[in-house]
C-alpha cells in the first residue's frame, strides 16, 4: 500500500549479520533478515487495534497524514529507528539459551508518547534471520511496551561492568497539552517535545530507572534529542542533534552538541 508523507507504517526493520573477517564493503558478505512492515502485520484501522491503550492517540488515516490543525498532522502509526539488544540474564523470560535471539526495540509513532515497539530476530537453522512478533506468557501479542521517550529516537547500549542496559532518551513532560496550546517551537504534535534529554538504566530493557538529566534546553527551539553515545572507561561520551535560538524549530535544528557524563555508573541507586 502506498503511503504519502511520513511512511513509518511501510518500513520493514532489517537486522544484518556480517563476519569481521570478510570484506564488509561487499553486500554479499552480509546476511539480511526477512520480515514485514508495520502495516503488513497490524491493521491499525480495525476497531480493536490499540483499544484500551489509546493507540493511535489522535485519529489517523491509512495512506497519508491527517490534518488536525493547519500546522499539525497525524501520520499513520508505524515504527522506525531501532535498537538491537541481546538478553544475557538467564532469569529473564526472553533469554535464549541457544544465543540465537536478538530483540529490536523501536521508536514508534503512536501520535502520542510513552510506547515503543518490540520484535525479535531469530537465527534460523539454515543461517538466515527471521523477524518474529513477541508474545507475553499469556499468549497475547506484545507489540508495544511502555517506554520513556519511545515516540522519539533513543539509544541503548549494554554495559558489561554493571550488567545493565543504559539508554539516552527524550524526557517528555507535556504531551497532554491541547493542540491549540502547543508551545511555540515544538514541531507538529504535542508529544514531540525534544528539549530535555535523559539518561536511564535497566536490568531487563523493560523497567527503566531515570539516572539523570543529561541536558535541558531553555526553550522548545533548544532541542537536545536523537542521541548516540559510547562508554569510555568511567564516562559516557554522547552526541545529540540540538538547536539554539537560530533553529527553525525543535525538529529542524542547527547544532550537534557533545556531552560527557562523568562516572555514570555512580548514578545507579
Query: Per-residue pLDDT for the chain (269 aa), expressed as one digit of tens each?
Result: 578 999 999 999 999 999 999 999 999 999 999 999 999 999 887 888 889 999 999 999 988 999 999 999 999 999 999 999 999 999 999 999 999 999 999 999 999 999 999 999 999 999 999 999 999 999 999 999 999 999 999 999 999 999 999 999 999 999 999 999 999 999 999 999 999 999 999 999 999 999 999 999 999 999 999 999 999 999 999 999 999 999 999 999 999 999 999 999 999 99
Q: Parallel, antiparallel, or unpaired for β 30-32 and 164-170?
A: unpaired
35 and 142 fall within a common domain: yes
42 and 136 fall within a common domain: yes
Q: Which of 89, 117, 147 is the last residue of a domain?
A: 147
166 and 66 fall within a common domain: no
Q: So what's the pLDDT on residue 46? A: 82
Grid cell listed for 173: 513532560
Q: So what's the pLDDT on residue 2? A: 78
109 and 212 fall within a common domain: no
Q: Which of 116, 147, 178 is the last residue of a domain?
A: 147
Domain tally for the chain?
Answer: 2
130 and 236 fall within a common domain: no
The 10 Å CB-count burial string (b at 16+, else e) for 32-51 is ebebebbbebbebeeeeebe
- Nearest Cα neighbor of 215 from 170, 266, 156 is 170
Using DSSP, state whether 227 is helix, strand or coil: strand
Domain of residue 234, residue span: 152-269
164 and 133 fall within a common domain: no
Q: Which of 125, 147, 169 is the last residue of a domain?
A: 147
69 and 139 fall within a common domain: yes
78 and 169 fall within a common domain: no
165 and 232 fall within a common domain: yes
Q: So what's the pLDDT on residue 1? A: 56
pTM for the whole thing?
A: 0.95
143 and 160 fall within a common domain: no
Strand partners, 242: 224, 255
H/E element holding 23?
none
Asked if residues 75 and 111 have their Cβ atoms less than 8 Å apart, the reply is: yes
164 and 117 fall within a common domain: no
248 and 160 fall within a common domain: yes
Amino acid at each position: 500500500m502506498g503511503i504519502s508523507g511520513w511512511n513509518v507504517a511501510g518500513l520493514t526493520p532489517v537486522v544484518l549479520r556480517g563476519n569481521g573477517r570478510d570484506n564488509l564493503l561487499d553486500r554479499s558478505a552480509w546476511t539480511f533478515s526477512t520480515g514485514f512492515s508495520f502495516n503488513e502485520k497490524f491493521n491499525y484501522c480495525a476497531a480493536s487495534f490499540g483499544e484500551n491503550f489509546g493507540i493511535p492517540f489522535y485519529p489517523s488515516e491509512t495512506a497519508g497524514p491527517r490534518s488536525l490543525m493547519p500546522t499539525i498532522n497525524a501520520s499513520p502509526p508505524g515504527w522506525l529507528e531501532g535498537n538491537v539488544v541481546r538478553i544475557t540474564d538467564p532469569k529473564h523470560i526472553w533469554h535464549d539459551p541457544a544465543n540465537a535471539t536478538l530483540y529490536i526495540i523501536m521508536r514508534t509513532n503512536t501520535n502520542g508518547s510513552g510506547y515503543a515497539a518490540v520484535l525479535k530476530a531469530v537465527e534460523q537453522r539454515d543461517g538466515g534471520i527471521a523477524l518474529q512478533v513477541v508474545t507475553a506468557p499469556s499468549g497475547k501479542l506484545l507489540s508495544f511496551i511502555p517506554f520513556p521517550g519511545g515516540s522519539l529516537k533513543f539509544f541503548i547500549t549494554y554495559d558489561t561492568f554493571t550488567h545493565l542496559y543504559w539508554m539516552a532518551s527524550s524526557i517528555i513532560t507535556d504531551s497532554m497539552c491541547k493542540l491549540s496550546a502547543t508551545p511555540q517551537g515544538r514541531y507538529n504534535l504535542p508529544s514531540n517535545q525534544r528539549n530535555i534529554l535523559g539518561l536511564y538504566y535497566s536490568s531487563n530493557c523493560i523497567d527503566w530507572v531515570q539516572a539523570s538529566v543529561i541536558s535541558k534546553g531553555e526553550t522548545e527551539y533548544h532541542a537536545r534529542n536523537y542521541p548516540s553515545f559510547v562508554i569510555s572507561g568511567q564516562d559516557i561520551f554522547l552526541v545529540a542533534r540540538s538547536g539554539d535560538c537560530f533553529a527553525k524549530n525543535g525538529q529542524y535544528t542547527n547544532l550537534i552538541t557533545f556531552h560527557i557524563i562523568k562516572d555514570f555508573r555512580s548514578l545507579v541507586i
